[in-house]
Amino acid sequence: MFFGTCHRPRDGNGYFCDLMGQKKLIRFEEIRSFPNVLIYQQEPAPGAEIRPIDWESHFGNARPLTLELACGKGDYTLGLARLFPGENFVGVDIKGNRIWKGARIALDERLENVAFLRAPIDQLDRLLKPGSVQQIWITFPDPFLRKSKAKKRLTHLRFLHVYRRVLVPGGKISLKTDSAELYDYTREVLAECGCEIIRDIPDVYREAPDVVLGIRTFYEQMHLQNGRTIRYLQFTLPETLPPVPSKKHENATPVSGEGA
């Protein structure tokens, strides 16, 4: 069976096919059969009853669970799983083509403490049990620099509410980014929300990082080759977060460093 997109050339003779599209579609189908991939890419209907994922049943143990959000190829998920075989790690992304790579590596290396979840990140509190996650890593997410896209940033208050519901009390969140704007924005959000910053490193590679911070993602390697500075924040959430402001209020309060 052939998957892909075919186009008629300008001369009208024959077709050429989008092999990249073919590859993605094949991978989308392939990950459906992977035992270490769970797929919930459709946003549940409002009010729909969802049975939370039972990770203890999936992994066959009750070991601490860490999530990597916007995991892409799962470089951090895999790196952490190799370092800490006594813990469980789940990479979360909506793009199945990227998840395929990490899931395939985990299967080839027989990393039984690794799984991947294809799902919208803003739905995690509906898909996971309350207090089931020990730590969250956010590695090189899209910074969404336009002010109108601020609510899509993975450190926006609306996402912090999602994380608070799935984390254990005192659970740690780590952000690793090359974006100075996202780093500064996150520090402001944390201050406004009363979050406790545990580690704040404005230049991870100024000195030799520890073994965990030394894990490098595909995009991180590219950023370093281009001379970009890698920044890191680790923090915890308070027991109670401020309510998410209305869109009108959000747009009325620009964040420093953002264009109007």
Catalytic residues: 142
Three-class secondary structure of residue 29 per DSSP: helix
Crossing angle of helices 96-108 and 75-83, rounded to 10°? 30
Cβ–Cβ < 8 Å for 100, 39: no
The one-character DSSP state at 209 is: -
Q: Rounded to an integer, what is the distance from CA 180 to the centroid of its chain? A: 18
Spatial strand order in the sheet of 231-236: 37-39, 114-118, 88-93, 65-69, 133-139, 167-177, 231-236, 196-201
Separation of CA 177 from chain center: 12
> What does the alpha-carbon distance between residue 196 and residue 122 come to, in Å, rounded to a whole number?
22
CA 28 to CA 103: how far, in whole Å?
12
> Which residue type, as a one-letter code, is found at position 81?
A
Q: Are 105 and 177 contacting, i.e. CB atoms less than 8 angstroms apart?
A: no
Please, are residues 106 and 78 in contact by the beta-carbon 8 Å criterion? Answer: yes
- Least Cα distance to 79 among 109, 56, 53, 54 occurs for 109
